[in-house]
Structure 1
Amino acid sequence: MSTATSATRKVRFPAVHQRLAENSFAALLRHSLIHCKRLLFMWLRDSTTTVQAILYPALTLLMFWVVLGEQITNATRNGAPSVFGTTAMITLIAAMTGSLVSAIGLHAEASSGLLARFATLPIHRASGLIGRMLAEAIRMTITTVVIITVGVVLGFRFHQGPVAALALLTIPVIFGMAFAMFVTTLGTVKTKAPLVDIVSIVVTLLMFFNTGFVPVFAYPVWLQDTVANQPMSCAIDAMKGLSFGGPVAEPLLKTIIWSVGIMAIFALPAIRGYSRAANEGP
């Protein structure tokens, strides 16, 4: 074939078998799943995310059990062994720390202009944020299963049956999605404020003042109501009730109220922040 013939030959692109309207529900579903898959593969290849989301929480649970396990169990006055509280607490911490790493990545994508480049593509405008939330939910589920598996090795058991066990697995996801909405809002804000430091302070306060370490009566009287009703304590108490036994309805209801309330407060700022980051660019 001559050079002239090859130069004038038309390039044939593959035929479009299914054309979706950009704002259709089918496009939203398909494009959200693509964004979700992109993030999951990116996190899987990132050692920092793996360490923060899985390895570090699992090692923390092991260290708590080795160093403080017997002392915490004795402090419960014949209550639940410490592994039930610490396992529940670490699953929640893992959900939060993983979301923090994700928010840092989101901030980097916004700063680099990647979100702006996505906005130029013929994809559903809501798919980026929804895909990110789907990826967060999958990550939290995997992390919860891994940490509870470590807890089972240390003595954690599901004494309330399989239905309660399935309900228990959903609590860190519900709690974590609320926190993910919060940090996603922060991740889309163009500011020089130390994002990691701010969120780390929140996580630290929640981690050290909850019912996962010791029962609420071990805290000073003036602090007991605050500790008992903070969102992490409610989730921990619900998880302990669904595994070892004890009250479930009240702490579970409080967990749902906290989670839905946080998501309701930060959902609109997260949507606006994500849209602004995608449209304005770096």
Structure 2
Amino acid sequence: MTVVEARRFPLVAESAVFAGRLMTRWRRNPLVPLQSLLFPTILLIVYYMLVSKSMTRLTGSDSLDTVVSMCALAGGMSGSLAAALSIPSERDNGLMSRFWMMPVHRASALTGTLLAEAARTVVATVVITAVGMMLGMRFHGGAAAALVFVAIPVLWVTVYATVVIVVALRFQSRAILTWFSTLSLGAVFGSSGVAPLELFPAWVRPVVQYQPMSATIEAMKNLARDGFAMRPLVLTAAWIVVIGAVVGTLAMRSYRAAAQSGG
């Protein structure tokens, strides 16, 4: 990139620098990539070895595409939570304030974090999907469906990482992230992708049916099996846009307040 290009697009260039900072940290202390890659991959392999035959007898399908979808989402979300553990420390030791005072675009640190999260999720989703294909999953919808299949977790995790940043900045205790992790992963594995909706108790069916992960997993499953099913894709896009619009504003306000507090 030339100097002229960097000056014309300062936010892009500076966000890339902040993203590189996070990736360097993850390379030196690989808790985050391991959390987002090792955990879901092991979960996927264990499922295939222990549960797939039982699922085939019960439902007529091993539901491998559904489990790959859930593992990609769960892995990306777990990685975001692991990455957020450092946010309270950066706020308290004044690092955020120093970033805020630097002669860079005020949004570059936050957008750089989200860029790093997106890049990490791309790699993790591709690896998990490749493992799923080695176990027998196929994309009958073609290459375009496969690309959208990978893109959905990337978009979701970017939005989810924004939510996690808001939670980490607004609450002093790290314990809140543990509770938030339980709630988030519960949403993934408590969706209509795990079991048909009619198998859930009647009182909880509306929650399961309309919570964000149900539509997302349904959309990803259909992309692997049949191609583009518009209803779950539209619902997934709507959830991503609405949540992203709300928490994006909150994230900027929370980051500004934390940076200006002086640590």
Structure-1-length-normalised TM-score: 0.86
Q: Find the counterpart in structure 2 of residue 11 from structure 1.
A: none
Once the two structures are TM-superposed, the CA of residue 213 in structure 1 deviates from its matched residue by 2.2
| Code of the aligned partner of 1:187 | A
Q: Find the counterpart in structure 1 of residue 248 from structure 2.
A: 267
Give unmatched runs, 5+ long, in structure 1: 1-16
> Which of the residues 230, 243, 261 maps onto 2:224?
243
CA distance in 2, matches of 1:204, 1:136: 18
Once the two structures are TM-superposed, the CA of residue 246 in structure 1 deviates from its matched residue by 6.8
Q: Find the counterpart in structure 1 of residue 261 from structure 2.
A: 280
> Which of the residues 138, 142, 145 maps onto 2:126?
145
- Tell whether 2:21 aligns with 1:38: yes
- Tell whether 2:42 aligns with 1:28: no
CA distance in 2, matches of 1:68, 1:203: 23
Once the two structures are TM-superposed, the CA of residue 25 in structure 1 deviates from its matched residue by 5.3
Moved more, 209-218 or 226-235: 209-218
Q: CA RMSD in A?
A: 2.1
Greater radius of gyration (CA): 1
Structure-2-length-normalised TM-score: 0.92
| Code of the aligned partner of 2:114 | M
Structure 1 164/19 Cα, relative in aligned 2: closer, same or farther at 3 Å? closer
CA distance in 2, matches of 1:217, 1:156: 25
Give unmatched runs, 5+ long, in structure 2: none
Alignment map for 1:53-64 (pairs within 5 Å)? 53-64=36-47
Once the two structures are TM-superposed, the CA of residue 138 in structure 1 deviates from its matched residue by 0.7
Q: Find the counterpart in structure 2 of residue 213 from structure 1.
A: 194
CA distance in 2, matches of 1:201, 1:25: 43
Instruction: Show CA shifts across 1:5-45 (max 9, x none).
Output: xxxxxxxxxxxx95899xx7522121111001111121122
Structure 1 193/31 Cα, relative in aligned 2: closer, same or farther at 3 Å? closer
User: Percent identity at matched positions?
Assistant: 34
| Code of the aligned partner of 1:53 | S
SS of structure 2 residue aligned to 1:222: coil
| Code of the aligned partner of 2:167 | L
Q: Find the counterpart in structure 1 of residue 69 from structure 2.
A: 88
CA distance in 2, matches of 1:231, 1:184: 19
Give the length in aligned residue pairs. 262
Once the two structures are TM-superposed, the CA of residue 212 in structure 1 deviates from its matched residue by 2.9
Q: Find the counterpart in structure 1 of residue 49 from structure 2.
A: 66
- Tell whether 2:90 aligns with 1:101: no
Q: Find the counterpart in structure 1 of residue 105 from structure 2.
A: 124
Runs of 4+ that moved beyond 6 A: none
Structure 1 225/245 Cα, relative in aligned 2: closer, same or farther at 3 Å? farther
Q: Find the counterpart in structure 2 of residue 180 from structure 1.
A: 161
